[in-house]
Structure 1
């Protein structure tokens, strides 16, 4: 590509400014529900580089939306927003949405300086370094590159910088409800520079079982809700084994030994060691592949729980707090082709893979009908860990690849 040397030079010249922006962004403890200070900071930094920035607030009664996920205790949407940043707003050419999320998960156990970033040999360590603030730093550099190139590609670039990805994608859901039209979308997540056209789905569930409490000295008169919860757990493990076997051979997912794990993360039961518990609450998440959709999986899980409970002559209660469908984009789609070419422009070998986790891409691909891929810098294996990290050079590489993609975009998405 003719102007790759210009792109690289601008990226190198802006290294110090991008590093400063990134470290400052990492210092905001932008947990779900507490992202607004970071949003304001990004708005201030991006405004000189964009044609305009819109603050997208949340609809009234947002928590009643049927797609709303996993509410955080005490969460309030008053005064909170996403950012919709528009570059080349008057372009008659095609449009591209790029999504990145501002929120982060809480610090890991023992991660005492999670929001005090440390830099060692070009690697930045902090909560949110790769998931997902390194991606936002790449967008900051991308805007700086675009502002300094002698010619603008005929493409309208729309950045969705959203909140609450980590607890189910409510920020992106708000962008869906606000409405958006685009020819393609890229959701930035740490993929190790791999192109991800296939993303698995996931449902988070909560099962409540009832028993009959009694003193341990009269245990024969009680019915343990814990035993019933463990029966449900065993039944769900059996369902998962069968579903995993049935899901063998799905393109791009066979490289993973278990691309659709079942995880039980929480069990709350009882109030006293010497009392048979009358209530147990079991929570977990089940991944699934594109041979199933979320409605089928939720129905099958519900049947599994119901059948287990019926043997006890009662009904366990099941709730679903998070319901992401799979996302699949055809491998021949031009978005994949020009992304491969842009990676090659920057001296890298394109790799196409699948994502054995869920993210916000399905909102664009499935609910909005915008062809989407997941792509980004950093390694997913570092996300949510006490050692979360990203290389500064990988942030620069991502920005250069995206700049190359924007120059190739108009020819592949002619209006």
Structure 2
């Protein structure tokens, strides 16, 4: 059987390459995922037992978890796609989740949507994050049909919009209430298994000052007040990290598993004028001992109680992306079975923690479905000008997952 599976997936190399290149050619940044959904729906339909669109409507904006880091998005022509291979009954079920959207390329990224194959690697925006994951799911579903596995449990695929800007597509899938005995969040992991995934909040903060000439009295620099707020956030991060130590061994191996990143800071209109307004935006990672509600309340409170009356009264913050951490134990049956499938195939299947956030928490925390992150590709190349994935890694991951399914869904 081992050789048979390797030969089967090796025979799919040309197809995997072609499908991935087709998907990369579709510039599916947030708001433009519709053509990818149509491509997957139409081309997976011949071998899936069930496939259909799950509409995402304007009503999603009323969901308390709706994320808004990208403004002005509209809904109605960008559905999620749900696919399933039906079991005969009696076996455990499985949901795969992965996403159709990609982050925008940088201004220096050459050929982001013109993929090319070089030395066994496919280059282009979304190659590993997450269109290579879509191809992996495609191959797994196709193999269930081609190899007539006769599973007892259902294998379901959720292919969603807007993962990169907060998970709004997965919110829509979660609100359908579909459940399974386990879920795998298909994201690039380089064959590591992540049962513990940190959360995050993204924020947009605004500080107001009192504008005026640099030589006059009575001015208040909004920029300097914003820098003070950033100092407060940094101190909060340091305390939160110190308090987490010893609680979560998988995270303890990292020097900073939940960093504070200030990605944008804007202020002022003229060098010789105290700025009236300053804005800064960033992300703060969340470890499992705190919830997103805790963190949002604490960040507001530390500014309110900082002793700077001006800053306290002239500070606003909006949280545009809010994810809790997702945690299952390293010896959970899902993890052990996935690791065993890795070792049967070739990869070691190291079990560790993920220091980025993902959509896993909706399945694990809100739906009660044990969830782990796994997939081909290296996250170090995601979102970069050098984004790529090794075609053979897609084939290997497909084999790992099919072996897992044979045991889990039998």
Query: TM tier, shorter chain?
Result: over 0.9
CA contact (8 A) 1:207 1:317 kept: yes
* Counterpart-to-counterpart distance in 1, 2:238 and 2:292: 17
* Counterpart-to-counterpart distance in 2, 1:366 and 1:41: 31
Shift in Å at residue 362 of structure 1?
0.4
Match of 1:226 in 2: 223
Q: In the TM superposition, what are the counterparts of 1:81-230 in structure 2 within 5 Å? A: 81-88=79-86, 91-218=89-216, 220-230=217-227
Q: Is residue 2:242 matched to residue 1:245? A: yes
Segment of structure 1 superposing worse, 106-115 or 257-266: 106-115
CA contact (8 A) 2:209 2:277 kept: yes
Match of 2:359 in 1: 360
CA contact (8 A) 2:58 2:75 kept: no
CA contact (8 A) 1:155 1:406 kept: no
* Counterpart-to-counterpart distance in 2, 1:33 and 1:56: 16
Name the CA shift for 1:177/1:48 in 2 (closer, same or farther; >3 Å): same
* Equivalent pairs, count: 408
Match of 2:343 in 1: 344
Shift in Å at residue 89 of structure 1?
5.7
SS in 2 for 1:49: coil
TM-score normalised per structure 2: 0.96
CA contact (8 A) 1:10 1:148 kept: no
* Counterpart-to-counterpart distance in 2, 1:138 and 1:410: 18
Structure 1 residues 148-202: Cα deviation after superposition (integer angstroms, max 9, x where no partner): 2143222211100001000001110010112211111000111110110000111
TM-score normalised per structure 1: 0.95
Name the CA shift for 1:16/1:237 in 2 (closer, same or farther; >3 Å): same
* Counterpart-to-counterpart distance in 1, 2:302 and 2:242: 17
Q: In the TM superposition, what are the counterparts of 1:259-274 in structure 2 within 5 Å? A: 259-274=257-272
* Counterpart-to-counterpart distance in 1, 2:151 and 2:371: 20
Match of 2:255 in 1: 257
CA-atom RMSD, angstroms?
Answer: 1.5
Match of 2:4 in 1: 6
Shift in Å at residue 145 of structure 1?
1.7
Gaps of 5+ in 1: none
Match of 1:314 in 2: 313
Structure 1 residue ranges, 4+ long, deviating more than 3 angstroms after superposition: 89-92, 308-311
Shift in Å at residue 117 of structure 1?
0.9
